[in-house]
Structure 1
Amino acid sequence: MATLSVRRCVAAEVAVIAAGEPEEKNYASSTFARQSAGECVYLVAWDGAEPVGSGELEWAPIPELKNLQVAPDRRSHGVGTAIVVAAEAEAAPFGRIWIGVSADNPGARRLYERLGYRPTGRTETFSYTYVAADGSKHSITETAQYLEKRLPG
């Protein structure tokens, strides 16, 4: 991935990103709409002209990086780290950033801790429905543990 970059999504890129989603997912369009409304920043990682990961930095008193995802064939190649670093740059004026990690995702937790994130003690259990890569819908309940990083500002 010689040309990896992470940037805010722009309108002209939504269709390219959405083309890689199951038809009913609608994540790229809905997240771009949230960004347009000022609710978040939709960060997309690109390898040249191909989207290979994304995350949304939700604006709150403590900004929170949510829905970090990396294409399966691009994991362990620095894409997730690049998205986190871009989110930190966006959140720098706030002095800190949060990220939630599912209790059943120790690999992601190791990444965040390696990048300087520390436990807050906050946990949250929630239920949601998502559309998988094959277009099937799944309802799950998970518990997220929140980590925080202080940012130079």
Structure 2
Amino acid sequence: MRISECREEDLVLLDEHMPSSGATSHHAVRYARHSAGTSTFLVAWRDQVPVGCCEVRWDGCAAPEIRAAHPGCPEINGLADWPGTLRSQGVGTGLIAAAERLARRRGCGCVGLGVEKNNPRAEALYKRLGYRPSVPYLDCWSYEDGSGLTHRVADACIFMVKTFAGPEDD
């Protein structure tokens, strides 16, 4: 598996192999933030096929309670692997490790991520990787479906944080 920063030409393959729900490509939205420098959009590849992705949001989690509790903490957001048969094969772990390296290189003392409260498998993985539960919050987001209707979603989540001992802490 190879992990790299997303390039504009990768968007077609991402949309083909890791389809977004709704009319607007989540990949294009993440790539726009990546291009603007407010995030880093990472893609995991196997045999020239995208199998996972995540975004490191340098400005942190959008939820105000998380910003208040963890100012300056970048967020690993939109962590996904596809297809589901790739779960438990190291895709998520590899993406998280790459995101952590980027955060340490930037001098960040920590990194965080949100996990839905009804996703114990992901929470267990994050705990194994050194993340500790911190603040409960609602992850509010929306998407537009193919007919142009906007759907608003609020997921009950817990923000988990990993603190780095130093820049070489691996």
Secondary structure at 1:77 match in 2: coil
Residues 1:88 and 2:100 aligned together: yes
* 1:69 alignment counterpart: 80
Secondary structure at 2:33 match in 1: helix
Indicate the structure with greater strand content. Answer: 1
Cα shift at 1:27: 1.2
- Structure 2 vs 1, CA of residues 39 and 46 (structure 1 numbering), >3 Å: closer, same or farther? same
| Counterpart AA for 1:91 | A
- With normalisation by structure 1, the TM-score equals 0.87
Secondary structure at 2:37 match in 1: coil
Structure 1 stretches of 5 or more lacking a match?
Answer: none
Paired residues, number: 146
Residues 1:58 and 2:69 aligned together: no
| Counterpart AA for 1:13 | D
* 2:16 alignment counterpart: 19
Secondary structure at 1:66 match in 2: strand
| Counterpart AA for 1:69 | A
Q: Partners in 2 of 1:76 and 1:138 — Cα distance?
A: 30
Q: CA RMSD in A?
A: 2.0
Structure 2 stretches of 5 or more lacking a match?
Answer: 60-71
Q: How does 1:1-153 map to 2 (within 5 A)?
A: 4-20=1-17, 21-22=19-20, 24-60=23-59, 61-71=72-82, 72-92=84-104, 93-120=107-134, 122-130=135-143, 139-151=152-164, 152-153=166-167
Cα shift at 1:84: 0.4
| Counterpart AA for 1:26 | S
Q: Partners in 1 of 2:31 and 2:150 — Cα distance?
A: 22
- With normalisation by structure 2, the TM-score equals 0.78
Q: Partners in 2 of 1:119 and 1:126 — Cα distance?
A: 15
